[in-house]
Amino acid sequence: MIRRNRKGAEGRRAYRSMVLPPFLIYIFVTAFPIALAVILSLSNYNGGKMFGGEPWKIVGFEQYGKLFADPYFWNALRNNIYIVLISVFGQLPLGFLLAYLIYRKIVKFGGFWQGILYVPAIISVIVIGIMWSIIFSPYGPIADAVNRVYSSAYSAKVSALLRSPGGEGVTDELVDGIIDISGSTVGDIFSDPRADLKDFLQSYEPEDLPMLKEDLVNLFAHKWNADFLSKPGVAMIPILFVTLWCWTGVYLIIFHANMQKIDTQIIDAARIDGATEMQVMGRIVLPSLSGTLLNAAILCISGSLSGFALILAMTGGGPARVTQVLSIYMYDTAFMGAANYPLANAIAMMIVLFSLVLILITFGVEKAFGGKE
């Protein structure tokens, strides 16, 4: 009996010695920061006496009241909702569909497509953000391509109007024609459009026709302002597109790996019985991956709410914070300008609360409609 008790005590000591270190790490790394964030969000802390501030105290939900009254908070929350929606209803369905196409060998070279679609996920998000900010900038390839089309169309109209670029060849009809195809641009450049434009045309010799056409295109052809990332109405569209492009490959890999666990004999039997591919996908594969879909949705929601580097690299928050999300809003509040740590921690608590609500909704949907793996 004594020996048995001794062995039991030794087992408990061994168990505690193995559990205690990770438990302490969890307390100091996770639990303590969470508790401190909750306390700070309910306080008026601004550095305390140590840093020349007033003694801090608990002020209740005062910071949350300031937060709900701040229009930037609602703007950041709305942008986060957009990202959650494009992630849950964009990345997951698209990733599942692509994984199914590869799994069922409906497309050829499945391994190649897996690699290509997964590549964006392994590139630094800072690199991706800078690359796409250049693409969507006013001087990027999209703007350049559109403005080349505008310039080509304007050049063709000018070529149809021009006969002799100088001397007697500059007629009132030519001046009126150029003003007509140029719109208000002539008035923006010349104070007296008709007289100044006529003088401008007469300054070229007949042999300078190619140069004149080029100068007219540069001066008067319509220029498209393609600064997507600063326009309030469309600034989030490039971010949503890049978010979809960047992370869909991750869920493709997750879904495809779990599809390998499905018994192929079930699918073969369904096909022999006359099931279509849509029926196989909807009635066999999809229910079999319900648990995987749940985990992927939780991963998707948490990633959407913690997104920071990609948006900051693409826009820096954008003019008037039009592309700001909650994580960037929290960062700016805590570290930019006059730091407000209680308000920043209140924002962090709202991110946690919002995440929990969405995850609970996800669990409810899975419980109501999900299958069993």
Same domain, 89 and 183: no
Same domain, 215 and 296: no
Residue 83 lies in a domain: yes
pLDDT top residue among 133 and 371: 133
Same domain, 213 and 255: no
Q: What is the CA radius of gyration of the chain?
A: 31
Mean of the pLDDT values across residues 77-85? 93
pLDDT given for residue 152 in this prediction? 87
**% of the chain with per-residue pLDDT over 90:** 28
User: Could you give the CA distance from residue 365 to residue 92 in angstroms, rounded to a whole number?
Assistant: 15
What total of structural domains would you count in the chain? Answer: 3
User: Could you give the CA distance from residue 237 to residue 225 in angstroms, rounded to a whole number?
Assistant: 16
Residue 51 lies in a domain: no
Q: Is 137 exposed, middle or buried (0-12, 13-18, 19+ CB in 10 A)?
A: middle
pLDDT top residue among 173 and 9: 173
pLDDT given for residue 167 in this prediction? 43
Residue 79 lies in a domain: yes
Same domain, 93 and 204: no
Residue 273 lies in a domain: yes
Same domain, 192 and 307: no
Same domain, 313 and 338: yes
Query: Which range has highest mean pLDDT (13-17, 24-28, 98-102, 278-282)?
Result: 98-102
Residue 54 lies in a domain: no
At which of 187, 220, 253 does a domain end?
Answer: 220
Same domain, 183 and 307: no
Q: Which domain range does residue 265 map to?
A: 70-137+229-369
Q: Tell if the pTM clears 0.85, that is, is over it.
A: no
> What's the sign of the alpha-carbon dihedral 267, 271, 277, 283?
negative
Q: Are 147 and 223 in contact (CB under 8 A)?
A: yes
Same domain, 20 and 164: no
At which of 174, 202, 220 does a domain end?
Answer: 220
Q: Are 326 and 312 in contact (CB under 8 A)?
A: no
Q: Are 245 and 129 in contact (CB under 8 A)?
A: no
What's 247's domain CATH number?
1.10.3720.10
At which of 168, 203, 220 does a domain end?
Answer: 220
Same domain, 123 and 195: no
Q: How does DSSP assign 219-273, residue by residue?
A: HHS------GGG-TTTTHHHHHHHHHHHHHHHHHHHHHHHHTTS-HHHHHHHHHT
Half-sphere exposure of 81 (CA within 13 A, CB side): 8
Residue 117 lies in a domain: yes
User: Could you give the CA distance from residue 301 to residue 359 in angstroms, rounded to a whole number?
Assistant: 7
pLDDT per residue over 341-363, tens digit each?
899 999 999 999 999 999 899 88
Sequence-ordered list of residues with C-beta below 8 angstroms from that of 209, at least 6 positions apart, any chain: 162, 165
Half-sphere exposure of 174 (CA within 13 A, CB side): 22
User: Could you give the CA distance from residue 282 to residue 328 in angstroms, rounded to a whole number?
Assistant: 39
Same domain, 316 and 343: yes
Same domain, 171 and 300: no
**pLDDT confidence bin for 320, thresholds 50/70/90:** low
Residue 52 lies in a domain: no
Mean of the pLDDT values across residues 172-200? 79
Query: Which range has highest mean pLDDT (250-264, 301-315, 336-350)?
Result: 250-264
Instruction: Work out the number of other CB atoms within 10 angstroms of the CB of residue 255.
Output: 23
The stretches of the chain forming alpha helices (DSSP H) are: 2-26, 32-41, 62-69, 71-86, 92-103, 110-122, 125-135, 141-161, 172-182, 185-189, 193-202, 209-220, 236-259, 264-272, 277-280, 286-288, 290-306, 309-315, 326-335, 341-369
User: Over 90: is that where the pLDDT of 97 sits?
Assistant: yes
Residue 119 lies in a domain: yes
Q: How does DSSP assign 278-295, residue by residue?
A: HHHIIIIIHHHTHHHHHH
Same domain, 353 and 237: yes
